[in-house]
Amino acid sequence: MKLRIMPARMGLTWMGHGLRACIRQPMGFVGLWGLIVCAAIITCEILAQIGVPALGPLLVVSLMPLVWMGFMLASRRVLMTQRVTPGVFLEPLRGQPSSMKWMWAKLGGAYLLATLLVMVLADAFGPGSDTLATAMKNAKETSDLVTDPNVQSAMLWQFMLTIPVSLVFWHTPALTYWAKLPLGKALFFSTIASWRNLGAFILFGAGWLGVAVVLILVNSLLAAVLGSPMLVNVLVTVGAMWMASAFYASLYFSVVDCFEPDDTSGIHQPVSRSTPSSGQA
């Protein structure tokens, strides 16, 4: 398996591939995202009701690598003109030996520990959880929170610490599932692939940040034009779900383009190039 260095402009190309894949089966991808959100909310609520509220968020975070893999499989299905179904989330586990299932458990545990470390460091270097709790308690509107310096500082620290963790784990699900690499090697190759293609990933992130900003501006415009808060909330919620779905759909393209096609790695099988218009990846 050989790493491939992509020009920075490929970040926007990955983004475009994800958008086009989501356009081809919008209900499929939005349905996947809606299913994940609903499952997370229900799981957290059930665990809270039985007296272990902290377990819900921890479980949701530990399952995120499996969710990423499911969306990558969904994008591959679109390129092969197959229907996207919720079964993509079970595909990495279905028919797999116990060693592979244990690998997913280890990967989820590693990602959970990394996420907890980010939270601890953000709390230590940022304004702190007590200050944030006070800001949230005193805020009368969402705009009060957004403009609060303490909240902005906390979000900045969280963002800066999350980026390196995301890049370390970015390719890891695909490398463990398709390339059958041990967790340590998968994390190593994922880190190297992300670092060597950092320009593309910076542009990739900037592109999606721009989409989020546009969504916020559209929200303000619709609120001024329509004058119906309920309708605006529905439209913005649907738009946000579609944007999130398109982002996750683009993960596949950002992963496969960072590695040379290899018959033994499995990453590019059964398709060979990430070009949605041609039906290949």
Give 199-213 pLDDT, tens digit per residue: 999 999 999 989 888
Whether the Cβ atoms of residue 248 and residue 65 lie closer than 8 Å to each other: no
Work out the end-to-end distance of the chain between its first and last CA atoms, rounded to an integer number of angstroms.
Answer: 17
* Whole-number Å distance between alpha carbons of 101 and 172: 15
Who contacts 262 (Cβ-Cβ below 8 Å, separation ≥6)? 1, 2, 268
Chain segment 132-187, per-residue pLDDT in tens: 666 666 655 555 555 667 666 777 787 888 899 999 999 999 999 998 999 999 99
What pLDDT is attached to residue 11? 95
Cα dihedral 173/160/151/210 (nearest 10):
-80
Q: Which conformational region is residue 274 in: left (phi greater than 0), alpha (psi within -120 to 50 degrees), or beta?
A: beta
* Whole-number Å distance between alpha carbons of 22 and 28: 8
Cis bond leading into 270, ω under 30°?
yes
Q: Supply φ then ψ for residue 3, to 5 degrees.
A: -70, 150
* Whole-number Å distance between alpha carbons of 150 and 125: 12
Who contacts 214 (Cβ-Cβ below 8 Å, separation ≥6)? none
Question: In sequence order, what E strands does 17-111 have?
Answer: none
Chain segment 58-91, per-residue pLDDT in tens: 999 999 999 999 999 999 999 999 999 999 999 9
Any bridge partners for residue 91, and if so which? none
What pLDDT is attached to residue 113? 95
pTM recorded for the entire structure: 0.85
What pLDDT is attached to residue 280? 37
Record the tokens describing residue 217, joined without a space.
């501006």
Higher pLDDT, 272 or 243: 243
* Whole-number Å distance between alpha carbons of 81 and 220: 37
Ranked by mean pLDDT, the top range of 50-54, 107-111, 231-235, 272-276 is: 107-111
Average pLDDT over residues 214-225: 78
